[in-house]
Every structure is written in structure tokens, then in C-alpha cells.
Amino acid sequence: MGGPKVVALAGGVGGAKLAHGLAAHLGERLSVVVNTGDDCERHGLLVMPDHDTVLYNLAGIEQAGLGWGIEGDTYAAMDQLAAYGEEAWFRLGDRDLALHVARSARLRADDGGRLTEVCLGLQRALGLAPRILPMSDAPVPTQVRTAEGWLDFQEYFVHQRQTPDVLELRFAGVADASPTPEVAAAFGEASAIVLCPSNPLVSIGPILAVPGMRSLLAAAIARGARVAAVSPIIGGRALKGPADRMLAALGHESSALGVARLYADLVDVFVLDNVDADAAPAVEALGMRTLVTDTVMTDDASRARLASEVLAALR
């Protein structure tokens, strides 16, 4: 498929939905750079929730209700692990587990290659046309400071159900991370960049925090690439996850305008939901154009429609 190439930056469920919509138009011309800050080790295996959520969505096998995991999966291995006394609060389905087994085995093999190469091999096995690129091959685990101290991201997110107040965030090891050659090449060829409707602080934030990532974006912009961002906050609320509470707790406004302020130095077109139409003039006053539309993606058709509107606004 010839034509312009696009890079999307994505976290989990919201990002994966828009990535799926973009893939419907772009196929192999799409590269999705995913947050790896949520990655964790479970039962000796590497789990990559954002990579895997995008993978399952692009393959059309995601669990419809939750957005992550595989539709119709069973939990026999998890229940057996629990019978051995292993922690079972992070629920890995049987078919999902196969991905973590294969990935971890390949990473441990002497000739297994880098994280990105291993992920690309697994994506090819599922027949994906777009490429899903980890933001870095080096681990950059997100940690959350609560009244209890520093917690690993999944301990906060899944085990403690995002209930403690977030006092501070850090991306451990980020100073030693760098964008991969694949990420650099994708930005080098992109004529458009899309910041998906993912949490700006713990999904897009870690990607942009990798040293060298903002320079890649700046170089693409200097070449003429245009950048759009889709607000993950609609009517002051996140559709999924704790982005609204986290923004407020960390001193930002929990609104589409608050997100626009975080992205103002990068973005040409900011996409707001119809319910936030009133905020468009304030976003434009920050120096961005706005696209006001229905941003709630409930099915394949609404994903593809939003993606096509975003791509049209960047032409």
C-alpha cells in the first residue's frame, strides 16, 4: 500500500481502539509506538499490557467488554497457579499466557534478538500489517508514589484498583533508555503523527520522556509532518482508567483543555469531543487548530470514522 506514513503514540485500551481505526485506512503504513511503562513480570514472564492490548485489537481478537486480553479466553492456568499459592490478582488468560511464554522464551534465547525484534516476530505470526513498536528496548517501569510509598504501576492500577491518591510519578531508568532504530525510522518517514486518546501522564508521558523521543518528533515536524492529539478526557471524565483523577491530583485541569495545555508545544490539531465544543476557542488560543467530533469509539465503524476524520484534518 503506497502513500503517506503515520506514527501513532498509544497506551492501552483507548489508544488501541484508535490504532485499530487508523490501521483500517493505513495498513502497513501505520507504526504504533507503545508505552512500555506498564510492563511487568508475572510468574517469571514479561507481560506488556499496552503492546498486547494494541496487538489483540489490531488482530481483532480483544475481549470486547474490557478491551484488553483475548475474547473468550479461559483462566485454567491462573486458577492452577493460585492453587500453588502464587499471587493471582493480575489475571492472565490461558491464550494470553501463550504470548508471554513465547516472548519471554525468545528474549532469553541467545539468538532471540532485542525486545522490538521479538515483538515484531510475534505480530507477524498474527498476520498484522502495521508495526507495533515498544518505545524503547530498555525497561522503563512507571512507578507511582502514594501515601504508602513508591508502588509498581500494576500494584497501583490493578491490585489497589487505582484507589490511593497519586502524589508523584516516576519512570525508572528512563535516563538510560533511548528510542529504538525502528522508532527512529518510523518518525523519519512519517508525514503525520497521532497522539491517541491515552492517559497523557502515564501512557503518552513515558513515551515522550524517553531521551531523544521529542527530538525525533521535532525533526519530523521540521520536515513538515503534522501532529494531532485526541483528548482522552470527555466532559471532564476519562472513559476508562484514572486519567481524570490523576490529572487533578498532579496539579493539572481534568478537562480536554487541561490535556491540550500538556500537548500545546507539539500539536497542530487537537481533537475534542462534541460535549467539549465550548472549550474549542480556549484550545485554539493555545495555538492549535481544533476538530470537534464524536470521539467515543463503540464499534469498528466509529473507530474507522474517527481515524479518517483525524487523518483528513492533518492533510
Which residues bind to ligand FO1, rule: CB under 6 A? 11-12, 38, 47, 49-50, 52-53, 68-69, 90-92, 96, 154, 157-158
Angle subtended by helix axes 115-125 and 94-108, to nearest 10: 140
Considering the complex, what minimum distance in angstroms separates the CB of residue 240 from ligand FO1? 8
Least spacing, CB of residue 170 vs ligand FO1, in Å: 17
- Residue number, nearest CB to ligand FO1: 12
Q: How far is CA 249 from the centre of its chain?
A: 21
Beta carbon nearer to ligand FO1, 124 or 161: 161
**Gap between the Cα atoms of 144 and 152, Å rounded:** 6
| Residue 261 CA: distances (Å) to CA of 116, 264, 272, 286, 302 | 32, 5, 13, 7, 26
Q: How far is the CB of 88 from ligand FO1 (least distance, A)?
A: 9
Q: Which is nearer to ligand FO1, 26 or 49 (CB)?
A: 49
C-alpha cell at 273: 469531543
CB of 15 vs ligand FO1, minimal distance in Å: 9
Task: For the beta carbon of residue 233, count every other beta carbon within 10 angstroms.
Answer: 27
CB-wise, 52 or 244, nearer to ligand FO1?
A: 52
Kind and range of the H or E run holding 291: strand 289-293
Give Cβ neighbours of residue 82 (< 8 Å, ≥ 6 apart): 88
Which residue lies nearer to ligand FO1 by CB, 180 or 199? Answer: 199
What's the Rg (C-alpha) of the chain? 19
What is the closest distance, in whole angstroms, from the C-beta atom of residue 255 to ligand FO1 in the complex?
21
DSSP notation for 125-187: HTT-SSEEEES-SS---EEEEETTEEEEHHIIIIISTT-SPP-EEEETTGGG----HHHHHHH
Minimal distance, residue 65 CB to ligand FO1, in Å: 12
Distance from C-alpha of 176 to C-alpha of 267, rounded to nearest angstrom: 27
Q: Closer to ligand FO1 at the Cβ: 92 or 210?
A: 92
CB of 242 to ligand FO1, least distance (A): 9
Q: Which residues contact 179 (CB under 8 A, 6 or more apart)?
A: 135, 136, 187, 210, 212, 213, 216
C-beta closer to ligand FO1: residue 49 or 139: 49
Q: Which is nearer to ligand FO1, 38 or 309 (CB)?
A: 38
Nearer to ligand FO1, 238 or 269 (CB): 238
The C-alpha cell that represents 103 in the structure block = 516472548
Q: How far is the CB of 39 from ligand FO1 (least distance, A)?
A: 9
